[in-house]
Structure formats: C-alpha cells, structure tokens
Amino acid sequence: MTAQAQIDALNDALFKAIGDNHAEQAVTRWIDTGNPELNRIISGSYEGGLPFGRMVEVFGESSTGKTADATEWMVRAQKMGGCAIFIDWERSFDVRLAEGFGLNTQRPYWIYAKPATWEEGNTLAAKACQLIRASKAIPDDAPILVVFDSIAAALPKSQAGKEIDEYTMNDTTALARVTSSTLKTMSHRAEEFSATFVYLNQMRLKPGVMFGDPRCLRGDVQIPFVDGTTATIKEIVKNKINKEVWSYNETTGEIEPKFIVDWHDNGSIADTDKRWIHIRATTPETKNGVSAVTATNDHKILTRECGWINAEDVKVGYHLVTHKHKTAYAVVTEVREGGKKLDTRMYDITIEGNHNFLAGNKDNGFIVHNCTPGGKAMEFYASARLALGRQKIMDKDEVGEKEFVGQNITVQCVKTKFTRPFQECNLRMMYNEFDVAYFDHIAAMLDHLIKRGWIEYNKPRVTWTDGKKYFVKELVAKLNAEPNGMEQLKAFLPKSDK
C-alpha cells in the first residue's frame, strides 16, 4: 500500500469513528468596540473586537468605566442587527443614561433582568440566548451580547435564604466555589449560541502601578514563611525573596503553601490620599498571642462575618481567618489609624494562584488579599480579560479654575487567546453639556496615530489631509462633526494592521 493510500485509509477510518473535523476552528466574527486600538489589543486586528462565542472579563476599580464600556458595546451589537442582554446583580443600571449612549430598549433587542442569585442570572442569560437563536428573528450572523454586572455583587444561591449573622466561612467563599462550575457551563453556552458573554468584576488585584491605586502594607508587617522563618514585607520586597508563604484557596477552603512571584514598592503613602489602618487581633499559635497588620485603608482583609472587606471597615470583635481557621480565628481587639510618619512607603507582593497570604506575626497571622472576587475561575474560562484603571482629566473653566471634565481610562489586556497579551490602550471618557458620559474615540485614535508616528505632527499642530495644520483639539472637533471622521483616521493605519 502506498503512503497516500495509507493516509486515505486512515482518513476513512477516522471519519467513520469520530466524524469530520468541526467546522468552527477559530473565531472569525467580532463585535466592534468602537475603539480600533482596543479592538487590536483584544483580537489582533483594528477591525476585530469582542469575539463571538466566547467569554470576556472586564475588571477594575469602581468608576473606571466598566458599565459605560459595556453599554457602548451593547449599542454596537444592536447596530449590527443583534440583541443586548443585561444581568443586573448590582441593581445600579440606569436605562436613561444607556439611552443617551444610543441603546434601543425595545424587546427583543434589549432584555433586562435583576436576578436574585448568581445561578439564576446565568440561567436566565442562557435561556434567552437559546430562544433568540431558535426563533430565527435575527440573522444567524448577528451578535448576542450578554453583560453580567457584576460578579462581586452576585449572591450565591446557598446564601440567599440566610440572615447576615448566620453566614459562616463556607458562605463567605461560596461565590468563588460556585463560579468554577457555572463558568465551565457558560463557556459552552456562549459557543453553542454564538453569544458573547461579558462579565464585569470589581478589581482587587493590583495589575501594576499604571492604575495609580495600589493597595499595600506598611514595611514592618511580618510575613511567616512555610519553612518556619519570617521576614518583614519590606525585607521581602527589597531582597526579592521568593519563598513559600501560607495562602487561602477560596475554592477548596484550605490554607496551602504558595510561592511569592512578584514584588512591589509602590512609593510613599504621603503622595496619596490613602491612610494607614492598624489592625490588632488575638491570634492562636503565636508566642505573644497577638498579630498585627498596618495596611492602606482599602487593602482587603478576610473576615468570617463579611468575607473580603476593606481594612477601614474591619470592626473590633470581627473574626479574621488564620492558619487554623477551621477551629480558631484571630479576634480583632483594636482598629485605629496608623501615623504616616513612622514608615511612609507602601509594599506589596504577588502570590501565585490565590493572590493572598498570611500576615501579622512570625508564627501565624491573618489572611490579607488583593485579588478579584469570584476566585480564579474567570482566569481559566475567559478568552480575554481586560483590566481597567483611570486618571482624571482636568481643564480650566471660564474663570481659570480647574474642573473635572472626564477621565482617561487605561485598558490592559492581561489575557487574550487571539494575540499577544499585556498590550495597553487608552480610552477617553468625556461629559457633554448635559453631564452625560461619552467616549471620544476620535481623540483617542488621533493620539494613537501621533504616538506611533503615523501622522505628521509638529507640536502643537497636526498636518491634515487638506494640507492645513490644526491644533489637536481643533482637529478632534472637526472630525467628530464629520460622519466618517473615524474612517478618515483609520486610513492612516498600516495596511497590514487593518
């Protein structure tokens, strides 16, 4: 038998045993985000965007534009002939503001739900997608975009019937456990119904100083190592010590060894509006019976009563998770502000996987955390993950006083299955005369072209296609007034990148 005959025989046998190759082997359809640069860092193409049939996570601090971004994407999905679905666990969506973005609020192009639990919200979304596709009311190639707002606000079904004072440690970590099983199913539903699922989340993990909002510990905080030794967090950062520390696994509920994988000296607290909060607690298995942590006011602490909360929200009498959390907790005896003069520098470390660690005493301590809610499941199942941070945009008013006019949102694509990860872009969110937010994609795109050197710019003017020289603000206003302003800018992109 010839080599080709052997290949043909193998192909016949494979076809009979397992059928043909599945037709869909790559994402070929995308929802335009409205910002070509954002499209590129997600999909690898300025003409790409959010992938059909996949899950995307968008996380960041409050007021970083997560819901505003998602609203614009829903509008763009509708303009492509598709439907938008919004699952509102936060109970904070304002449809009137969304209409200002151009959202069509007529069914079936707009579906809005306020489910009671995490499980109910995901079930509603999957059922809606199934019915929309089965109805054939919209074209098969039209998008279905589902926005879930937000993971952190969702209530697991296991908690729904309980009073707050009835919560146990199993309840405070229930969301992390249930997301793992739910998201596995939802990733299949997204592909099955060719839908795009966007999960919004509150950021607790500091992706880098670019976000300008680090949550840190003071340098004298003791960190116990698994090998029985100890060091202050300042010593760990300065010497880049990569030993194992004790870390809490939100999925299993176990304390386990994890390595330190990154080190952060985030500058002086005196240069920020943050405050040191000193927390002291009676702690089992320590020689002096206590542990203490001084952290920035927004650093997260794991409590039995409330789960993850800011250091400034910890109360005397709260139970903090220790190495022996199943039998003994650290009980808070003191919460006070710590002086900025004692040690001004802010330190942090990154722990593999769990992103939390035991701190406060050389023998034990309690768990501090700077990770996103919902455990690690989204890291596995999302095809793209976008981290958002912001900086205020200030301008002078009529009398020369500075006023807030918008914010520059930095987007870092920390994970993508479609191109190189960790690329960044900037979105410019401004406010019109009615104080309604909008994204000035023209300004952001022009800034991108200038930085890349793809358009002639001799500070402070841009040479335009009509031969005239314009101030940047002047050209932005001109292009925003023209219906094809973005297309004119996209003409400057290299042909290979379009």
Please write the tens of the pLDDT for every residue from 142-178. Answer: 999 999 999 988 999 988 877 766 666 566 667 777 8
Q: How far is CA 37 from the centre of its chain?
A: 18
Q: Could you report the per-residue pLDDT of 96-129, keeping only the tens digit for each?
A: 989 989 999 999 999 999 999 999 999 999 999 9
Does 210-369 match 29-203+372-439 at the fold level?
no
Q: What are phi and psi of 165, to 5 degrees?
A: -75, 0
Higher per-residue pLDDT: 392 or 304? 304
Domain covering 210-369: architecture: Beta Complex (2.170)
When the candidates are 3.50.50.60, 1.10.10.10, 3.40.50.300, 3.40.50.170, the CATH number that belongs to 29-203+372-439 is: 3.40.50.300
Task: Single out the residue of 345, 434, 384 nearest to residue 190, CA to CA.
Answer: 384
Q: Could you report the per-residue pLDDT of 186-239, keeping only the tens digit for each?
A: 999 999 999 999 999 976 433 333 333 457 899 999 999 999 999 999 999 999
pTM of the model: 0.73
In the chain, where the domains are located: 29-203+372-439, 210-369, 441-498
Contact 402, 396 (CB under 8 A): yes
According to DSSP, residue 376 is labeled T
Higher per-residue pLDDT: 383 or 373? 383
Q: How far is CA 395 from the centre of its chain?
A: 29
CA dist., res. 104 & res. 102, Å (int): 6
**Six token digits for residue 411:** 């987007």
Q: In sequence order, which ranges of 44-116 are alpha helices (DSSP H)?
A: 66-79, 95-101
What separation in angstroms does the CA of 457 have from each of 72, 86, 241, 321, 448?
30, 42, 46, 57, 12
